[in-house]
């Protein structure tokens, strides 16, 4: 469905900022922890991050910002569509890693579609990881052995509303290791390569090197801004989604960045990641676009527990960095994949000269998917009933950090489980970290369920799983480190939180508006625990 032009935007901003509409850059790092940024981690951060910190000084810092998932793909689905990822049906079939099929249908209304219909020139540069439809030599499902790299992919960013795109299909440790520009493969994909973290060897472009990827992406961003500068000054703004592959493994800084950080290799890579943001800021300055550009900088979820100064992915490597005084999750518990705060609480800064007051901090709850409704408002659009159903407009907070919180609740997912926020309360629908714990998250999901089974004395029915010891309840205001499980003491609050979740599933939305079809809602939020449940 289309969006419709709205007039509230022009009436809600100071007259000096009403025209022209701002350019928008959405910058997103990959696996960057809230404690990896100096202006968020403070003394517990041993990495210099001047670009992020500059934005925090010149704009607004959000301290309670969250990804919808502690995992790359579902987090990105929420951002791109403004809806929780579990509301979609089964994805299209595909192969492993960067060969995965479409995560949602190509006719889904996306952030790219929104901004394009608002009259923006749209660009996507960086990690995609939302699935593609590739041409295969045998007509079978795409995979490492049958893709025809001489043919453009059938479905990629251009089919989701982006006028220009330059992407890596998956993460930097996920083959194929080759770029796509506007759905065309770049170079000859005839090599077999792999990188240090997991040594996943697969198809690669002959000249592809992991340590050049960030520089390549930043160069593309600089050229995009240069191309669009004149049109932007003449009334046609641009929207650029800049999604990095770092500091996600492999930890592979460009040689010119090695040795820059006192922390070591991981610090070097975070510093190069931060400089990618810095290069975008400098490009805006060079072309006189700083004053009329809204820029958001964040991460797709929390840091990985297996990443650090050892190039090989290593179990609980975060402990070695903590020994050196660096805490990627800040004060928070858990890491990527986890149900705890360190899995999905992220750094989030916004700069918009003339609208966002410099040097401000906002402690209101926000989600990354809120960019959808916020950018709709900023671009003068009104969403249809079925668009952005889990996205809240943050413009009131951008104008006043102390304004009432637009978002009262949020549902988040880990590798195996879910959590529900309502104000300061958080309910984890599992007894442990909500993930296997293969790389260091604790307690491991299976271990936590075994302990809960011992504490409960017998296998539980599905209804009994909605109470202690099978769930965890935290008051984040008094207990931000999630150290004190209140589920046994507050059974009424637990029931209230489950009712909230059930209602948002049934309503097909979490925002105010017309009820939508619940759709497939493809998860059983108390599933995944065979052996512990009474059948």
Query: CB of 391 within 8 A of CB of 372?
Result: yes
What SS3 class is residue 218? helix
Per-residue confidence (pLDDT) for residue 461, from 0 to 100: 87
Dihedral sign for Cα atoms in the order 77, 78, 79, 81: positive
- Report the pLDDT value the prediction gives residue 17, as an integer from 0 to 100: 41
Q: What is the pLDDT of residues 166-214, one digit of tens each?
A: 999 999 999 999 999 999 999 999 999 999 899 899 999 999 999 999 9
Residue 13 lies in a domain: no
Question: Do 449 and 339 share a structural domain?
Answer: no
Distance CA 395, CA 415 (A): 31
d(Cα 156, Cα 163) in Å, to the nearest integer? 11
Give the structural domain span for 415: 411-507
What b-and-e string marks burial along 309-347, b requiring 16 or more CB atoms within 10 Å of the CB? bbbebbebbbeebbeeebbbbbebbbbbbbbbbbbbbbb
The CATH code of the domain that includes 388 is 3.40.720.10
pLDDT tens digits, 404-463: 999 999 999 999 999 999 999 999 999 999 999 999 999 999 999 999 999 999 988 888
- Read off the pLDDT of each residue in 466-495 and give the average, rounded to a whole number: 98
433 phi/psi in degrees, rounded to 5: -75, -10
- Name every residue whose Cβ is closer than 8 Å to that of residue 174 and which is 6 or more positions away in sequence: 96, 97, 98, 200
Note whether residue 521 is domain-resident: no
Query: Distance between CA atoms of 308 and 305, rounded to whole angstroms?
Result: 8
Kindly give, in sequence order, each residue whose CB lies less than 8 Å from that of residue 431, ignoring residues fewer than 6 positions away: 443, 448, 449, 451, 452, 469, 470, 471, 472
Quote the percentage of the chain above a pLDDT of 90.
91
Beta bridge partners of 26: 241, 296
Mapped onto helix, strand or coil, the DSSP state of residue 22 is coil
- Local structure of residue 136 (DSSP, 8 states): B
400 lies in the same domain as 420: no
Preceding amide of 250 cis, omega within 30: yes
Mean pLDDT over residues 334-353, rounded?
A: 98
Please state, rounded to an integer, the average pLDDT across all residues of the chain.
Answer: 94
Q: Per-residue pLDDT tens for 234-245?
A: 999 999 999 999
Confidence of residue 522 (pLDDT cuts 50, 70, 90): low
Answer yes or no: is 127 within a domain: yes
Q: Are residues 120 and 256 in the same domain?
A: yes
What is the predicted pLDDT for the residue at 196? 87
Residues 386 and 444 in one domain: no
CATH of the domain at 491: 3.30.1120.10
pLDDT at 529 over 60: no
Domain count, the chain: 2
For residue 356, tell me if it sits in a domain. Answer: yes
DSSP structural state of residue 104: S
Interatomic CA distance for residues 115 and 173, integer angstroms: 31
Q: Are 367 and 66 in contact (CB under 8 A)?
A: yes
Confidence of residue 313 (pLDDT cuts 50, 70, 90): very high
**Can you give 400-466 as a three-state secondary structure string?**
CCCCCCCCCEEEEECCCCEEEEECCEEEECCCCCCCCCCCCCCCCHHHHHHHHHHHHCCCECCHHHH
Ranges 10-19, 355-364, 453-462, 518-527: which has the least confidence: 10-19
pLDDT at residue 513 tops 90: yes
Q: Domain for residue 46, yes or no?
A: no
Q: Are residues 66 and 186 in the same domain?
A: yes
The residue among 95, 66, 90 whose CA lies nearest residue 78 is: 66
CA–CA distance from 276 to each of 75, 219, 303 (Å)? 21, 9, 18
Nearest to 18 by CA among 407, 245, 280, 292: 292
The answer as to whether 5 is a domain residue is no
Specify the pLDDT at position 534.
59
**What is the per-residue pLDDT for 531?**
58
Beta strands in 4-82 (DSSP E): 4-5, 23-30, 60-66
CA distance 408 to 308: 35
pLDDT higher than threshold 80 for residue 385: yes
Specify whether 397 is located in the same domain as 423. Answer: no
123-136 burial by CB neighbour count: b if 16+ within 10 A, else e?
A: bbbbbbbbbbbbbb
Q: Token pair of 410, please?
A: 């949020």
Q: Return the pLDDT at 3.
A: 42
Per-residue confidence (pLDDT) for residue 518, from 0 to 100: 78
pLDDT for 520: 66
- Cα angle: 323, vertex 329, 333; to 5 degrees: 95
Q: What is the pTM of this model?
A: 0.95
Q: Is the pLDDT of residue 2 over 60?
A: no
Do residues 160 and 273 share a domain? yes
Residue among 461, 468, 498, 462 nearest 486 (CA): 468
What average pLDDT does this structure show over 231-260?
97
Is residue 58 domain-shared with residue 200, that is, in the same domain? yes
- Mapped onto helix, strand or coil, the DSSP state of residue 333 is coil
Same domain, 402 and 415: no
454 and 305 housed in the same domain: no
Q: Which residues of 22-40 are buried (b: 16+ CB within 10 A; e: fewer)?
A: bbbbbbbbbbbbbbbbbbb
Query: Which residues are CB-contacts of 535 (< 8 A; sequence separation ≥ 6)?
Result: none
Largest CA distance in the chain: 71
């Amino acid at each position: 469905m289309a969006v419709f032009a709205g007039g509230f935007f022009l009436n809600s901003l100071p007259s000096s900022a009403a025209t022209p509409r701002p350019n928008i850059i959405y910058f997103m790092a990959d696996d960057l922890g809230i404690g990896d940024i100096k202006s968020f981690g403070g003394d517990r951060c041993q990495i210099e991050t001047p670009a992020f910190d500059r934005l925090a000084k010149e704009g607004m810092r959000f301290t309670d910002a969250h990804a919808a998932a502690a995992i790359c793909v579902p987090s990105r689905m929420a951002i791109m569509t403004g809806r929780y990822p579990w509301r979609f049906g089964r994805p299209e079939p595909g192969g492993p890693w960067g060969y995965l099929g479409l995560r949602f249908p190509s006719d889904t209304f996306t952030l790219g579609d929104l901004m394009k219909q608002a009259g923006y020139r749209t660009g996507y540069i960086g990690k995609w990881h939302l699935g593609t439809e590739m041409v295969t030599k045998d007509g079978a499902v795409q995979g490492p052995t049958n893709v025809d790299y001489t043919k453009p992919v059938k479905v990629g960013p251009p089919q989701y509303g982006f006028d220009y795109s330059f992407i890596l299909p998956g993460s930097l440790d996920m083959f194929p290791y080759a770029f796509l520009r506007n759905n065309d493969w770049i170079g000859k994909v005839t090599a077999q390569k792999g990188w240090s973290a997991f040594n996943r060897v697969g198809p690669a472009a002959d000249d592809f090197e992991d340590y050049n990827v960030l520089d390549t992406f930043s160069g593309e961003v600089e050229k995009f801004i240069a191309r669009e500068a004149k049109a932007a000054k003449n009334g046609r703004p641009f929207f650029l989604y800049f999604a990095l592959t770092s500091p996600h493994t492999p930890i592979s800084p460009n040689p010119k960045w090695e040795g820059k950080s006192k922390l070591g290799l991981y610090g070097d890579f975070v510093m190069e990641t931060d400089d990618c943001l810095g290069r975008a800021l400098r490009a805006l300055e060079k072309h006189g676009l700083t004053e009329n550009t809204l820029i958001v900088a964040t991460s797709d979820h929390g840091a990985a527990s297996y990443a650090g100064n050892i190039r090989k992915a290593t179990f609980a490597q975060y402990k070695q960095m903590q020994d050196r005084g660096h805490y990627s999750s800040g004060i928070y518990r858990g890491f990527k994949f986890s149900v705890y705060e360190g899995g999905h609480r992220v750094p989030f800064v916004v700069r918009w000269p003339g609208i966002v007051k410099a040097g401000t901090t906002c402690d209101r709850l926000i989600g990354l998917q809120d960019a959808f409704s916020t950018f709709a408002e900023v671009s003068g659009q009104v969403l249809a009933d079925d668009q952005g159903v889990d996205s809240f407009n943050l413009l009131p907070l951008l104008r006043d950090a102390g304004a009432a919180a637009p978002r009262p609740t949020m549902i988040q997912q880990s590798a195996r489980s879910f959590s529900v926020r309502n104000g300061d309360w958080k309910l984890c629908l599992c007894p442990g970290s909500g993930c296997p714990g293969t790389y260091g998250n604790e307690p491991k999901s299976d271990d936590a369920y075994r302990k809960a089974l011992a504490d409960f004395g017998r296998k539980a029915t599905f209804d009994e799983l909605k109470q202690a010891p099978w769930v965890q309840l935290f008051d984040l205001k008094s207990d931000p480190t999630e150290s004190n499980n209140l589920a046994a003491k507050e059974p009424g609050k637990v029931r209230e939180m489950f009712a909230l979740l059930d209602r948002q599933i049934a309503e097909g939305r979490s925002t105010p508006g017309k009820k939508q079809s619940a759709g497939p809602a493809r998860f059983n939020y108390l599933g995944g625990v065979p052996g512990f449940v009474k059948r």
